[in-house]
Amino acid sequence: MSEVVSSSDFQSKVLDAQGPVLVDFFATWCGPCKMLAPTVDEIAAEQAGKASVYKLDIDQSPDIAQKYGVMSVPTLIVFENGQVKKQAVGVQPKQNILSMLS
């Protein structure tokens, strides 16, 4: 299962991390986000040790969502060395998400 990050630990867990980090920007009221959640959790389990996977609730951390231009959810962003590497908006097939991490 993927861990939830917030404004307080985003820097240490995402931006300062070694290797690729997938962040699923979501909202609790978002139907498509709920559809995507099991896929993100699967990827978190499969990529353990290779990539980090986190979720960020845009209602709890609107400053982070705004900083990265997240206008709709779900939005998936892959960070590497503190920089945005890839981004996708909307529900994505598992294979697309895995290719974002490679």
pLDDT at 1: 72
CATH number of the domain where residue 26 is located:
3.40.30.10
**Nearest Cα to 40, choosing from 86, 1, 89?**
1
pLDDT digits (tens, 9 = 90+) for 55-81: 999 999 999 999 999 999 999 999 999
58 is an active site residue: no
Give mean pLDDT, residues 37-51: 96
Catalytic residue among 30, 43, 44, 58: 30
Question: Cα(21)–Cα(80) distance, rounded to whole angstroms?
Answer: 6
- Structural domain range at position 86: 3-101
As for how many domains the chain has, the answer is: 1
pTM: 0.96
Catalytic residue among 14, 21, 33, 56: 33
33 is an active site residue: yes
Asked whether residue 102 carries a pLDDT value surpassing 80, the answer given is yes
| Distances from the Cα of 49 to the Cα of 20, 22, 33, 79, angstroms | 10, 13, 25, 16
What integer best gives the mean pLDDT of the chain? Answer: 97
pLDDT at 2: 81
